[in-house]
Structure 1
């Protein structure tokens, strides 16, 4: 939950949508309870153990696709304050009258239900087999995530609880959408400070007023907007002390308000003696005076001009009167707000403030976090037993994580080891793949050839530089978001009897691990593109010649009768023209000897 009163809506203008490489090579703390609750509610009943499925897929996505180093944090024993708030929240959501709310004894914490604890235990077992570090908090998981972030052990926190900022978080990722161009919804504390002018203690003060995980009710009648207006009047060092004074019934001096009642009474007596104002133009002087002699403020020769709608007189008396009214309005607002705060029982709760400002939330040293290699054998057995998956499917889904570990080790130490139980090794770069606007290499992995009874752990240099000229850049269409955050299965390719596994890898990581192969691939790709460009330019410049595959006209093989007739007419052109001319002249001569009526009868019958 975090801070109540639609607190996220207050911070949303300062959210940033980050791309795929935002978490690459960064450490990130993950609130495990958030993942379990989120997808156990969304897909419950559709799949077997959705919390395990989600944790498996999302962890591999974070590690391989986004290149992050995740650290998972689980809740410890909750505070007794949160136990009471949790029961109150359950009563309200169930429609039960909170008057019958049971009272928790001081110092007694209510643990989560056994089913949820079992889900957490299964996810922790899975993460440990994946080689991912898991930390247990003394209290809230988001509190430990924030502490790790503020002390520099991690670069960001993944949690939907807005009170992570109250615990000191500097960068919070509220939501992850793996199948999108900008998968991370990120909030930076520096942007919130510059935009709203609020710091950590200001946010704590707002949570005390509107409600939080430890006091879900807050102060009755105060929402986020009122709380924001209150805390902005005080500095970070003073805001909690001023709230303490208001809770004790003391009204602090209101900035910009009336400092004393005597000043107001003195001014009211002066207002009674002020000069009259014209009812027509609103300026100093009476209406009768302005008709006799023109108004000096209106600027007309005679009389005055009717005042426009919304006219405000700017004389000293009117300006001071407006200031007095505004100050009185502000003063009355503060009096009402202070009365509401004073009526709240035990406000502010010092225990809640101490919880938010406490730093003793971590068991052990955060610098001891380390990432290991997945225990493939036991992990396969676990997923087969828990989710009834096929062992080959589990190994295939693990391949992106194993290949990422392989490439990181290769880039760090320039040494590598065979992938997936010494079965597959790096072979070549197949092509460049673009998905959701993000480019990656498609890498071929194959089993090394056995010679003399043993397998090579590395492919030969000349074999690793293999680029197929027919391969083109692959652009995948965007798909709908998978509610289970499933992975793209590695593809299997058969080429001349060799079996290859294809995975998508980060271009920068492959370049660091195999610089020569990457340079050769990019060079060949550039040559292919230039060659294709030259061929297309030649095709445009020269028309395509007739080929045997195109049907030709029959006139290419046989002489046309029309052409022959045309040839004969050309040969006898002179004589035919002469005879035609004689015939025309004879006709015209004979026709000229006839009368007009005879010619008409001959013509029309």
Structure 2
């Protein structure tokens, strides 16, 4: 879950970049996020025996062929404050109708946790066969990803968890898809968050406490009203509306600016005065 509404707040600095732009980069990947993404797709289940392995294989293969170096990060022991949140999330993804084994705790919860651990083990075995390195975090995977990024060991992180910025991450890729003719990926940079939104790492931590996060799920309830139902903003001209619509139809606030003009606006904005 990360921080509530964080990706909505960061929408103005989102950039869609071609997957090919990742060539030559070293990237840390939050493994558990990829597993959860693909294991919860019911449409695939029944036709593909192990969708999490299939997705991992093709994603890794495509990135390696593009010259991207990968380092996968595995979750360690989560802080006690997050046990309930993580347990609920895992149960929602990996719940089973079967009865659990003997031991403490709810049988359904034990079964869900055992499924998730088995998926992790299978993915690590696949990474071994592919020759792709992975590291075990002492705590949360996104914290290790952020540390590797902050220290310059990796160029970016691939994760869906916005907590990575709170831990010190600099560049984050999300909504990863390799399908399609010209696949793209969303890119968020902390430098853009600071320059364009005026938010520091400490500001994001404060937002997490106010809006709610894995540690404080409810946050300060009255504060979330300010961030709900906010319209999307174009990542190119920063006006109301999506970049895709502006690219095809132009931006009303830019007086009907067409795609070629938007490109020049974006280029001029990136050139220092």
Fold match by TM threshold 0.5: yes
Task: Give distance in 2, aligned partners of 1:149 and 1:165.
Answer: 10
SS at match of 1:181: coil
Contact 2:29 2:157 in 1 (8 A): yes
> Alpha-carbon deviation of 1:186?
0.5
Report the counterpart of residue 211 of structure 2 in structure 1. 210
Task: Give distance in 1, aligned partners of 2:184 and 2:92.
Answer: 34
The one-character-per-residue Cα deviations of 1:111-142 (angstroms, maximum 9, x if unpaired) are 97011100100100110111100111111111
Instruction: Summarize the alignment of residues 419-434 of structure 1 with structure 2, pairs less than 5 Å apart.
Output: none
Bigger radius of gyration, 1 or 2? 1
The one-character-per-residue Cα deviations of 1:337-359 (angstroms, maximum 9, x if unpaired) are xxxxxxxxxxxxxxxxxxxxxxx
The 1:2/1:124 distance shift into structure 2, 3 A limit, reads same
SS at match of 2:64: helix
> Alpha-carbon deviation of 1:182?
4.6
Task: Give distance in 2, aligned partners of 1:218 and 1:88.
Answer: 18
The 1:90/1:155 distance shift into structure 2, 3 A limit, reads closer
> Alpha-carbon deviation of 1:91?
10
The 1:226/1:183 distance shift into structure 2, 3 A limit, reads closer
Q: Which runs of 5+ in 2 are unaligned?
A: 94-109, 229-273
Q: Which runs of 5+ in 1 are unaligned?
A: 94-109, 228-605
Report the counterpart of residue 74 of structure 1 in structure 2. 74
2:50 is equivalent to residue 49 of structure 1: yes
Task: Give distance in 1, aligned partners of 2:210 and 2:63.
Answer: 37
SS at match of 2:132: coil
Report the counterpart of residue 61 of structure 2 in structure 1. 60
Contact 2:147 2:167 in 1 (8 A): yes
Task: Give the CA RMSD over aligned residues.
Answer: 2.4
Question: How many equivalent residue pairs?
Answer: 209
Task: Give distance in 1, aligned partners of 2:79 and 2:160.
Answer: 19
The 1:49/1:168 distance shift into structure 2, 3 A limit, reads same
Task: Give distance in 1, aligned partners of 2:87 and 2:48.
Answer: 30
> Alpha-carbon deviation of 1:143?
1.0
Task: Give distance in 1, aligned partners of 2:28 and 2:214.
Answer: 20
The 1:26/1:34 distance shift into structure 2, 3 A limit, reads same
Contact 2:194 2:200 in 1 (8 A): yes
The one-character-per-residue Cα deviations of 1:233-262 (angstroms, maximum 9, x if unpaired) are xxxxxxxxxxxxxxxxxxxxxxxxxxxxxx
Report the counterpart of residue 188 of structure 2 in structure 1. 187
SS at match of 1:213: coil
SS at match of 1:60: helix
Report the counterpart of residue 263 of structure 2 in structure 1. none
SS at match of 1:17: strand
* Larger RCO (alpha carbons 8 Å, 6+ apart): 2
The 1:111/1:50 distance shift into structure 2, 3 A limit, reads closer
The 1:88/1:115 distance shift into structure 2, 3 A limit, reads closer
Report the counterpart of residue 127 of structure 1 in structure 2. 127
Report the counterpart of residue 115 of structure 1 in structure 2. 115
Report the counterpart of residue 224 of structure 2 in structure 1. 223
TM-score by length of 1: 0.33
Contact 2:156 2:172 in 1 (8 A): yes
Report the counterpart of residue 9 of structure 1 in structure 2. 8
Contact 2:30 2:159 in 1 (8 A): yes
Task: Give distance in 1, aligned partners of 2:142 and 2:171.
Answer: 12
> Alpha-carbon deviation of 1:44?
2.2
Contact 1:77 1:139 in 2 (8 A): yes
The 1:89/1:38 distance shift into structure 2, 3 A limit, reads closer
Contact 1:127 1:133 in 2 (8 A): yes
Contact 1:17 1:182 in 2 (8 A): no
The one-character-per-residue Cα deviations of 1:180-219 (angstroms, maximum 9, x if unpaired) are 4252111011111111100000000000111111221111
